[in-house]
Structure 1
Amino acid sequence: MRHIEIMDTTLRDGEQTSGVSFSASEKLTIAQLLLTELKVDRIEIASARVSEGEFQAVKKITSWAAQAGFLDRVEVLTFVDGGTSVQWMMDAGAKVMNLLTKGSLNHLQHQLKKTPEQHFAEIQATIELANSKGLLVNVYLEDWSNGMRNSKEYVLRYLDFITQLPVKRVLLPDTLGVLTYWETGEYIKELVARYPNTHFDFHAHNDYDLGTANALEAVRNGIHGLHLTVNGMGERAGNAPLASVIAVLNDYQKDVKTSVCEKSLYSVSKLVETFSGFRIPANKPVVGENVFTQTAGIHADGDKKNNLYFNELMPERFGRERKYALGKTSGKANIENNLAALGIQLSDSDLKKVTQRIIELGDRKEVVTQNDLPYIISDVLDSDAIEERVQVLNYVLTHSKDLRPSVTLKISVDGEIFEEHAQGDGQYDAFMHALAIIFEKNGQKLAQLTDYAVRIPPGGESDALCETIITWNHGGKELITRGLDCDQTVSAIKATQKMLNLI
């Protein structure tokens, strides 16, 4: 099987996502996870000369990589700048430079305003200097895709030149994300045949949502490496997404292999989401929150009958689980699956009543989760399915300028009354601190908050109802609770009380 090198460029190209900037410690953590957990072959971590902060981040990563034996797998974008980038690399402790050069005549003539001869001479001088300092050199052909479309003679002339120099890899970017998949296949096939001893990487952008398709076509036509980013981060519409491309290659390109660990794709994706603040769309393939969730009742029913609605993308491959959403299209099978997970059985008549209530809630666009079911059962069947062992009896929330928010809290646990006072970074944070103190005194731990979402109806006034949906982790199990109130903090407290009773 042919090995396809995967270079992750989340820390360089991905950081060009509007509004995203990783700290030095965040960059180090992501770099470590990419190489040790995801097991990508290489990472591109920065652009030379950008800022002092970028320089310090690169030094942190190269220092760790040198000790861990990964230094030759850490790469930096550099420039044809008379040796300034080479010196920057030496000072930062990096060993592999990805030299940015012009891959189209249009860029060369209108941005650099130079002849091919001038550009080639400067490139050669830079490569020779880098080699003399012990650096390895890969070369980017910026705007290569437009170069192949509109000035192929220049591209081939340049490749005839560069393939005679001590260059480890030639990197072919679709800089503006303009290629169709048939063009990608045609261009790659031509170059691989013309230069059989050259290692080519393909770097896809996603402007037409063709990044994954183009990456697959590049592999089918002989490319040796791919550049990808976690969550498809990158400038404009982003880059080809790592998770999608790996899944496609594993399922549809059986004659190739990569080193990437599928089971780590989701966890690394969530970490990068947290560090970047760049939210993953719920319907993002492989890593989106909804992609392994069946909503239609007919699909849930089919899952029980020879897995009629399963495909090769099984959630277990990625360390995830299949879920069955609750809403107006759920149907009996979806609700039964969720009840079974909670260990609850209902008669057919009771199940019909609960199903009808969930449909009513769905029509009102209310979110219904598995953990809401016991409350719905209690309400609909007038039963004691939920035992309110923990009750938030009273609280005083304070927020003052230049003073930390605080709370005085009074709760009842199995009839015993507890009071506590605490401060926090916000009113809800102070509430959680006070709660944690009470539970720790009783030798118990709270569930860990993993996600916090607030929804207000579009066009709502300042007194509109606010829905707070909180995701928790308790003993490795995910809980989702929600609260509804005109006050956001109070709605969060209501969601928290539900969590306390569930655990």
Structure 2
Amino acid sequence: MERRTIEIMDTTLRDGEQTSGVSFSAAEKLTIAQLLLEELNVDRIEIASARVSEGEFQGVKGIMSWAESKGYAHRVEVLTFVDGGLSIDWMKKSGAKVQNLLTKGSLNHLTYQLKKTPEQHFAEIAQTIASAKENNIETNVYLEDWSNGMRDSPDYVFQYLDFLTQQPVKRILLPDTLGVLIPSEVFAFISKIIPKYPNIHFDFHAHNDYDVSVANSIEAVKAGIHGLHVTVNGMGERAGNAPLESTVAVINDFMPEVKIRVKESSLYSVSKLVETFTGYRIPANKPIVGDNVFTQTAGIHADGDNKNNLYFNDLLPERFGRKRKYALGKTSGKANIEKNLQELGLQLNQEDLKLVTQRIIELGDKKETVTKEDLPYIISDVLDSQTYEDKIVIESYVLVHSKGMRPSTTLCLKIDGEIIEENAQGDGQFDAFMNALTKIYKSKKMTLPKLIDYAVRIPPGSSSDALCETIITWTNGIKEFKTRGLDSDQTVAAIKATQKMLNIDGVNSKN
């Protein structure tokens, strides 16, 4: 049986931009539009609402200029209104070719918001569609609040559809505007519509207020819908829209009767770019694109993966341009650590592996983040070999920061068993610490690597007592290297990273 194709319309740039606090610049909109159409290969994109602002107008002009040059003009859509032709004029000036006309899909909205009869509304809609056609603008029509319309005033909905299907309309768009439907209702409502109007293209537009937008979209496909509306990362007002990435994965894995054109392998990279442009962080546990969703934490899972991939499912990270990870923390087992050691090309005997596992569990209990890159140093420490800790140790320090005075640090350093103490001031506490450290190194005629980059990262969603990770990049004149420190105090985290640097550099200088 030949599979039918479902159109995917992405509305990140229109409905997604209605996420609280999110606003794209014209340049960002153009970049995202290009990625959606060319990198992800979605069928259509909705990029703006007409008449919103001058910035929105310039953004649409820029996208349409590019789309025209690529032959994509009819894949780009703009939300418009029944406003006596004002939206049509705006469309003409911007170069947009397809309007998604917002109309009333429930008698409740029509009666109490517009205060008009169905006949009045239909007449104005017919005039708007005719005007669009005269100006070579294609029309799709939204039935705003369609979901409540089907619940409370189905006679009106079908009266409207009877009228609309006689108009020169390309597609009819059925939105669950308030995100109130459950999957069984979606299937029932759309199943009543599709057979009645077999020659009309219908889209379903889900919102995620009850966290069932993907399930609702799938039920719409089962009921015969021809297109789905989604947004990157599920962006949108309130709880957002149906997320593009999850919708695509579910259709590909569970709906063999249909096909879509979206390139799965580009989902993650586009998702991260949208996250960067919006500042709207992706939850770590968000399916497909979250930081943690391909990370096995429990040791038993890693053990199962070593034994014929017992904990794998069809959501292989490689499909989305990602890689499976094995977390190191208090729930780590030996199998988790072995997986990380394999990636580093290291191997331990069972007794040593047991000791390293215990050390990582201890760190996890202290909320320390253990990375794959930390493993060699943990191994050295645990096995009591000649590690960097034995050579240079920050024994103690006092950090002073008083109003009206320059910050100062008193530092006590042990180098090859010798205790050296110095005091210095600086522009900040860590700067004072580094100045004291520099004095000690000069007194020992040792060269201190140069700090060239300093970054601090706080885990998203953490409270005020959260750990922060300091990542410092150093150079010793030959190569660059990074060290990390973790603590609830940013300066202490930086000092921990510096202690690692002192010993890494010390080890390297002997090689």
The aligned residue for residue 66 of structure 1 is 68
The aligned residue for residue 147 of structure 2 is 145
Among 172, 188, 199, the alignment partner of 1:170 is: 172
How does 1:233-244 map onto structure 2 within 5 Å?
233-244=235-246
Amino acid at match of 1:272: V
The aligned residue for residue 13 of structure 2 is 11
CA distance in 2, matches of 1:456, 1:87: 45
How far the C-alpha of 1:88 sits from its partner, in A, is: 0.6
State whether structure 2 residue 457 is matched by structure 1 residue 452: yes
Amino acid at match of 1:357: R
Amino acid at match of 2:244: L
**3-state SS of 1:222 partner:** coil
State whether structure 2 residue 189 is matched by structure 1 residue 184: no
Change (3 A) 1:339 1:220: same
Amino acid at match of 1:452: R
**3-state SS of 2:220 partner:** helix
Contact kept, 8 Å, 1:455 with 1:468, in 2: the verdict is no
**3-state SS of 1:237 partner:** coil
> Could you state the TM-score of these two structures normalised by the residue count of structure 1?
0.84
Amino acid at match of 1:379: D
The aligned residue for residue 52 of structure 2 is 50
The aligned residue for residue 85 of structure 1 is 87
CA distance in 2, matches of 1:131, 1:499: 69
Contact kept, 8 Å, 2:472 with 2:494, in 1: the verdict is no
How far the C-alpha of 1:383 sits from its partner, in A, is: 2.5
Among 133, 136, 143, the alignment partner of 1:134 is: 136
CA distance in 2, matches of 1:388, 1:200: 71
Q: CA RMSD in A?
A: 3.1
How does 1:194-273 map onto structure 2 within 5 Å?
194-273=196-275
Per-residue CA distance 1:284-313 (angstroms, 9 max, x = gap): 111111111111111111111111111110
Among 39, 42, 62, the alignment partner of 2:41 is: 39
How does 1:424-435 map onto structure 2 within 5 Å?
432=452
How does 1:277-292 map onto structure 2 within 5 Å?
277-292=279-294
How does 1:344-423 map onto structure 2 within 5 Å?
344-384=346-386, 398=427, 417=447
User: How many residues are aligned here?
Assistant: 459
How does 1:320-339 map onto structure 2 within 5 Å?
320-339=322-341
Amino acid at match of 1:288: G
**3-state SS of 1:123 partner:** helix
**3-state SS of 2:313 partner:** coil
Amino acid at match of 1:453: I
The aligned residue for residue 319 of structure 1 is 321
Change (3 A) 1:120 1:372: same
Change (3 A) 1:490 1:258: same
**3-state SS of 2:458 partner:** strand
Amino acid at match of 1:467: C
The aligned residue for residue 101 of structure 1 is 103
Contact kept, 8 Å, 1:300 with 1:324, in 2: the verdict is yes
Contact kept, 8 Å, 1:410 with 1:419, in 2: the verdict is no
Among 23, 29, 32, the alignment partner of 1:30 is: 32
The aligned residue for residue 428 of structure 1 is none
- Structure 2 unaligned spans of 5+: 395-412, 414-421, 429-433, 474-480
The aligned residue for residue 468 of structure 1 is 469
How far the C-alpha of 1:481 sits from its partner, in A, is: 6.1
Contact kept, 8 Å, 1:145 with 1:174, in 2: the verdict is yes
Greater Cα shift, 339-348 or 104-113: 339-348
CA distance in 2, matches of 1:487, 1:322: 31
The aligned residue for residue 441 of structure 1 is none
CA distance in 1, matches of 2:293, 2:335: 19
Aligned-residue sequence identity (percent) comes to: 67
Q: Give the greater-gyration-radius structure (CA).
A: 2
The aligned residue for residue 405 of structure 2 is none
How far the C-alpha of 1:233 sits from its partner, in A, is: 0.5
How far the C-alpha of 1:221 sits from its partner, in A, is: 1.1
